[in-house]
Amino acid sequence: MDTRQLASFVAVAQRLSFTRAAAELSFAQSTVTAHVKALERDLGVGLFYRMPGRIRLTDAGDRLLPYATRILELTESAREAAGHSEPAGALVVGTMESLTSYRLLPVVEYLHLRYARLRIALRPSICAETCEAVLETTYDCGFLIDTSRSFSGLESKVLCEEPLVIVAGRDHRLAGKPDLADDDLRIERLIETEPGCAYREQLEHVLATGDGEPPPVLELGSIDAIKRSVASGLGIALLPRVTVAEELARGELLRLDWTPPFQVYTQVVWRTERTGDPALTALLDTATKVIDEQVEDAAAG
């Protein structure tokens, strides 16, 4: 367990509402729910009875509440006694739209709640552009999805492997067809993000014809636009699984039976001289914890 999980548990227990607890903590409700579920998994016991329209503490939750409250109080006292230097200042962060929307918002929420003097600005950027901007000091750090796990002149850390899936609309001719081959995809229109995206480049390389001709492409500027176009039958798309998990669960999109012959990783890069900077360290530590929780929740769900 960690203090974020305990803080979410205490807020929910005191208000008997995930919605009101999330509002007080300035978290998304899904973040508070994930914290409580992770705490329940760690303890091996349910903490709330969940009933239509209301919740209440289980006996285990009732016993935990005073301990959790005391732990949070002691944590704050220890921080003050040690003369903890709170991260402060501004961090300009380059990141892809898919990571902003599906990985980093809980990170920003947590930092905003915990460090009032730390300001974070997210800037849209992709892969090679991100690394170049970090090297040129335009960005303090950058989050990206790439096949590589090292970058010239930069420190880097892999946060998770990012599974990719090919998706299509429910009525697509390939939907439900088993064991698709590369040739099955070559004649399909690909709906893709802008050039410079590592997994787009890898897919086009795999599906290029013998003369190097890339497959037909419809290029769109956002993940949401790509998903809507795929659902309407305009083509197929290769996307990080995390970005289409809800649509797959609802049946709005279907996963095609084709596995990419390459892997990509969500990772963060920064300049060596920034290593140890309190603001950057707070961001890196929080991103590591939050994304670890996201991966665990996806595996458990």
Strands 118-124 and 89-95: parallel
Q: What angle do CA 271, 275, 277 make, to 5 degrees?
A: 115
pLDDT of 164 reads 97
pLDDT of 187 reads 87
Instruction: Give the integer Cα–Cα distance in Å for 113 and 9.
Output: 16
**Residue pointed to by tokens 């930069």:** 154
pLDDT of 80 reads 66
pLDDT of 135 reads 94
Of 165, 102, 154, 104, the closest CA to residue 274 belongs to 154
pLDDT of 211 reads 67
Of 106, 129, 260, the closest CA to residue 143 belongs to 129
**What residue ranges of the chain have pLDDT lower than 50?**
none
297: its two tokens:
């929740």
Q: Do 8 and 19 touch, CB atoms closer than 8 A?
A: no
pLDDT of 272 reads 92
pLDDT of 84 reads 55
Which residues partner with 57 through β-bridges? 48
Q: Coil, strand or helix: which one is 259?
A: coil
Instruction: Report the length, in residues, of the chain.
Output: 301
60: its two tokens:
């285990």
Of 288, 267, 266, 290, the closest CA to residue 156 belongs to 267
Please spell the DSSP secondary structure of 79-97, one letter per residue: HHHTT-----EEEEEEE-H
pLDDT of 210 reads 67
Indicate the helix (H) or strand (E) that contains 191: strand 190-192
pLDDT of 82 reads 64
Q: What is the pLDDT of residues 181-215, one digit of tens each?
A: 999 998 899 999 888 889 999 998 899 876 667 67
pLDDT of 25 reads 85
Instruction: Give the integer Cα–Cα distance in Å for 154 and 240.
Output: 25
Q: Do 269 and 149 touch, CB atoms closer than 8 A?
A: no
